[in-house]
Amino acid sequence: MATIREEDLVASIADALQFISYYHPADYIQNLAEAWRREESPAARDAMAQILVNSRMAAFGRRPICQDTGTAQVFMKVGLGARIVSNRSLQEIVDEGVRRAWREERNPLRASVVSEPLFGRRNTGDNAPAMLHVEMVAGETVEVHVAAKGGGSENKAKFAALNPSDSVADWVVRTVETLGAGWCPPGMLGIGVGGSPEKAMTLAKLSLLDPIDLPQIRARGPSSQEEELRLEIFERVNALGIGAQGLGGLTTVLDVKLKTFPVHAASLPVGLIPQCAADRHAHFTLDGSGPAVFTPPSLDLWPQDISVATAAGRRVDLDHLTREEVATWRAGETLLLSGRLLTGRDAAHLRLTRMLAAGEPLPVDLRDRAIYYVGPVDAVGDEAVGPAGPTTATRMDKFLEPILSQTGLLVMVGKAERGPAAVETIARHGAAYLIAVGGAAYLVSKAIKSARVLAFADLGMEAIHEFIVEDMPVTVAVDAAGTSVHRDGPARWRRPVREMAPA
């Protein structure tokens, strides 16, 4: 019987979570680099370049790829012949690994988990608990898959109880078309088919841990019906033209993963979970000989010929914004922001709008200001702030009318599309919505020269900060005339499946 020390399991989980916070898996980098070379849409190509440069910076700096360092997801296969020496539950052991990873001094991660999801929504401060799945299997080892999954892509998970005669491909393609860009493409789709509703969802999540192999399957031709289905979905989804960050382009997904399980004759449950550009997962096996060791990828892995053009764009002084100036910005245009940029996301918006409704004074003056939807990672060393990429703006749509009409806010910065009503509201108020690249958080943070909390400190990363930024590159996504790049871009790049470029 193999004896596994509790400390080896805790240390291995903590090390794995640290490791994946700054190293993309090699297969993701290689496949994204190939997609970047093939991409014809300038906006999508630039977004991919930023993700790749950010990935290389994160690896060199050992700082998180994305400000959303995710929730810890741990899948364990515990051999019936293995003994984990501990008085604690497996959940407690795993959670200690999570706490250790998140509180690591040199590279602290962002605490994103709130307890009491329905009411209190108080940050647990250490990102525990993990989502733990355990299977008892034959053998004497403990096999562990660790992933860190960001909220934006988890929010786009879908489930359907299809009829046995329904087309899974049709459902997936139709569904992906409705997801928008909040899941930060280009990434992967995880699909689970069969079992029961919860089994299908778990299979979808598990499938995302498999290596990327669809480009090879495409090159050699599919050799099974499952491969044919994956390929069909891959080609049809990419033909939608959604592209990197939803800006319109050739590549939306790098792979479509699939896992299946036997099912009731009356049922066809299907789970769909997208994986964002912050693809983070690692695998190790403990056999009693000590903790797992993780080998860093070669730093030659990233394309040598890639760089982010020092953005040429219109310079904007955030300290002297006027409605007249905002009215001259055009959708698709690059702006370089300098000056004071406020931050605020879900919890701060909820609190601000409740205060407005109650007639209470706000703790910050938003008149003629710009707000960045972000929850940054805490700074270490000489950083002004840790990685600080945008969060999904669509979640803030419901707050737009009271915020714009009652505070005089002029500009919002985030990622992904705004809904049709929000676009109309932005235009009606002569405001503008700008985007930074989701998944390029460490790169984005380099434009932030100082940061301080202004209000709602109890909200942790969701507090209202004031950043001083210098030449922060952003793209106008919705201009004051109501033109939206997320509506026009994908429409321009949508194409019939037969026009797909060869691998």
Tell which residue, 155, 180, 175, 255, has the closest CA to residue 213: 255
Residue choice 151, 243, 291, 489 for contact with ligand LMR (CB under 6 A): 151
For residues 9-27, one letter each, b for 16 or more C-beta atoms within 10 angstroms of the residue's C-beta and e for the rest, the string is bbbbbbbbbbbbbbbbbeb
Residue choice 123, 391, 445, 475 for contact with ligand LMR (CB under 6 A): 391
Interacting positions 285-304 with ligand LMR (CB under 6 A): none
| Residue 8 found at the interface with ligand LMR (CB under 6 A) | no
| Residue 386 found at the interface with ligand LMR (CB under 6 A) | no
- Take residue 421 and report the two structure tokens written for it: 């009503």
How many beta carbons lie within 10 A of that of residue 136, not counting itself?
10
| Residue 392 found at the interface with ligand LMR (CB under 6 A) | yes
- Which residues, 6+ apart, have CB-to-CB distance to 469 below 8 Å? 318, 337, 338, 339, 341, 447, 448, 449
Pick between residue 235 and residue 462 the one whose CB is nearest to ligand LMR: 462
Pick between residue 150 and residue 291 the one whose CB is nearest to ligand LMR: 150
How does DSSP classify residue 303? -
Interacting positions 177-206 with ligand LMR (CB under 6 A): 182
Tell which residue, 248, 217, 220, has the closest CA to residue 231: 217
Pick between residue 148 and residue 411 the one whose CB is nearest to ligand LMR: 148
| Residue 251 found at the interface with ligand LMR (CB under 6 A) | no
Amino acid in position 398: K
Only one of the segments 14-22, 73-81, 150-158, 379-387 lies at the binding site for ligand LMR (rule: CB under 6 A); that segment is 150-158
Report in angstroms how near the CB of residue 111 gets to ligand LMR at its nearest: 11
- Take residue 18 and report the two structure tokens written for it: 């640290």
Amino acid in position 444: V
Report in angstroms how near the CB of residue 261 gets to ligand LMR at its nearest: 29
Interacting positions 62-91 with ligand LMR (CB under 6 A): 67-68
Only one of the segments 57-65, 148-156, 419-427, 484-492 lies at the binding site for ligand LMR (rule: CB under 6 A); that segment is 148-156
Residue choice 79, 97, 108, 150 for contact with ligand LMR (CB under 6 A): 150
- On the 0-12 / 13-18 / 19+ scale of CB atoms within 10 A, 131 is middle
Pick between residue 278 and residue 411 the one whose CB is nearest to ligand LMR: 278
Total residues in contact with ligand LMR, by rule CB under 6 A: 10
Report in angstroms how near the CB of residue 227 gets to ligand LMR at its nearest: 30
- Which residues, 6+ apart, have CB-to-CB distance to 481 below 8 Å? 331, 427
| Residue 460 found at the interface with ligand LMR (CB under 6 A) | no
β-pairing, 411-414 vs 432-435, is parallel
Tell which residue, 287, 381, 360, has the closest CA to residue 1: 287
- Take residue 35 and report the two structure tokens written for it: 């997609």
Residue choice 64, 79, 152, 249 for contact with ligand LMR (CB under 6 A): 152
- Which residues, 6+ apart, have CB-to-CB distance to 383 below 8 Å? 445
CA distance 103 to 69: 12
Cα diameter, the chain: 74
Interacting positions 340-379 with ligand LMR (CB under 6 A): 375
Only one of the segments 5-13, 89-97, 144-152, 215-223 lies at the binding site for ligand LMR (rule: CB under 6 A); that segment is 144-152
Pick between residue 68 and residue 95 the one whose CB is nearest to ligand LMR: 68
β-pairing, 268-275 vs 187-195, is antiparallel
Report in angstroms how near the CB of residue 67 gets to ligand LMR at its nearest: 5
Tell which residue, 175, 183, 95, has the closest CA to residue 392: 183
The number of angstroms, rounded, from the C-alpha of 204 to the middle of its chain's C-alpha atoms is 17
Report in angstroms how near the CB of residue 129 gets to ligand LMR at its nearest: 18
Pick between residue 229 and residue 374 the one whose CB is nearest to ligand LMR: 374
Interacting positions 427-446 with ligand LMR (CB under 6 A): 438
Q: What is the CA radius of gyration of the chain?
A: 23
Only one of the segments 123-131, 146-154, 216-224, 493-501 lies at the binding site for ligand LMR (rule: CB under 6 A); that segment is 146-154
Which helix (H) or strand (E) covers residue 5, if one does? strand 2-5
Pick between residue 150 and residue 185 the one whose CB is nearest to ligand LMR: 150
How does DSSP classify residue 104? -
Pick between residue 124 and residue 392 the one whose CB is nearest to ligand LMR: 392
Which residues form the interface with ligand LMR (CB under 6 A)?
67-68, 150-152, 182, 375, 391-392, 438
